[in-house]
Structure 1
């Protein structure tokens, strides 16, 4: 979700669900240690609960990044051991770390030593020629013994050679039963599932099988209303805002962003899928796509786009 779930996206998504944990884009530990910390770590208080997702493979560097991030008050620190992109592999982190469980254990132990919130791990079921039924339980056991009690498992293998990141999200077959087996094998751990989940109904079904949580990525981005509005019912709460009201509720945030020198499209690019499947959705996307990036564009563009939706209702 790099370049997608930035702070503007997360603020927008928080208006649809009060309870779901929001995750940042993956931020590398070296970037936090050596880079512009406020730009990488700042977020709105409205985004809570929020998890910072880190990438890295150097225990000392990850510990330092965790220590720095502590001042920002995140609710969770997550180590990404699932991303298959080439640039991630070249840095020896992401899914390639599935081959190095002892190093992952060292990393999380160092992070836990510097964190005052839970440290969690997002992983795959295996990579390349690994046998997931053998690799995954061993990986969980070793990393758990280092102190991690919460795993988010993308229920696909990652092929580090031969498949693009997009293909790695679609081609390797999903293996939900293996993730469910991990919950039975490690009943005291929090086991969440990720991969191929496109609806709230599907999330309910997976939770009914005994899993502790469901992570939804791209479906929540492309069709956020269908996935996020109503999600709080999973916690027994009735919170289902109307998408048109959400647009109105975004306006103060957008105005503040514009007054600070930001551009409209930096926010509205995350809002294109809000009305997916509804009358006027195509024109909503078109108006925003064609006008929001123009110099001086303001909330009048949002109003024009919203008129297309209202006309189609």
Structure 2
């Protein structure tokens, strides 16, 4: 644990560094009045703390939010030992050693909880309530915001784009739409990442090509069937369907899958069928563009582009 610098502060200085401190009346009976200064009964100073929980990686000031109450004619001095390490979640403590003119000499121990801050998602203004996304036009800017498990503003977020030539992203999460295509934007904090999709197009048909031989893609309410000219086992890493104004997207992850990488195994043995969650069925029409991004059993990436065909 990191120990903060020992500070000695007079009562007047402490008052300036934190909130204003009230003085009780002589009739206040909340303290044991056992000491005197010039005939005046002096009560033991009492401390109050506004903050007991702080966010991870925030700046901690042991004097912020600390107030005390003392008697008239008293003068209070304080030293502090700070054991709070905001880089690691957990419970820590701060010890305030207090002396006053009346001769009170005591310690106040205050427990501080450092609350973990985790990245849990990305706010994408193009996301719609029906599970679809709006398509971006070339030249558009998209302001993405990280979402955390608690209300926080965290430094250290890194932003990357899977396809900067299509959609570049700045260090503060502003996406610039540059060319027809698809991209996945990733925000990372402390090794944990969240992703959101971006599609850029000026028409109903994306200007994309296949990475290798491709036969067809079909959709039937709940599952996608596609055929290629190779027999490699593949895993979906992104499914896109668009009518040029909106698009549906799935990252290919199946929480119910028994596969170690949590993705469906798609191969000729199962007819190339898998079931992504790609928004509502009402947006899909014959002729819409479909893009399937996969990795095969050897880790090689593939991209298949075709037109939606509803299976009767």
In the superposition, the TM-score normalised over structure 1's length comes to 0.22
Compare the two structures and name the one with the higher strand fraction: 2
Bigger fraction of residues in helix:
1
Q: TM-score if structure 2 supplies the norm length?
A: 0.22
Q: Tell me: higher relative CO, structure 1 or 2? Use CA pairs within 8 A at least 6 residues apart.
A: 1
Larger Rg: 2
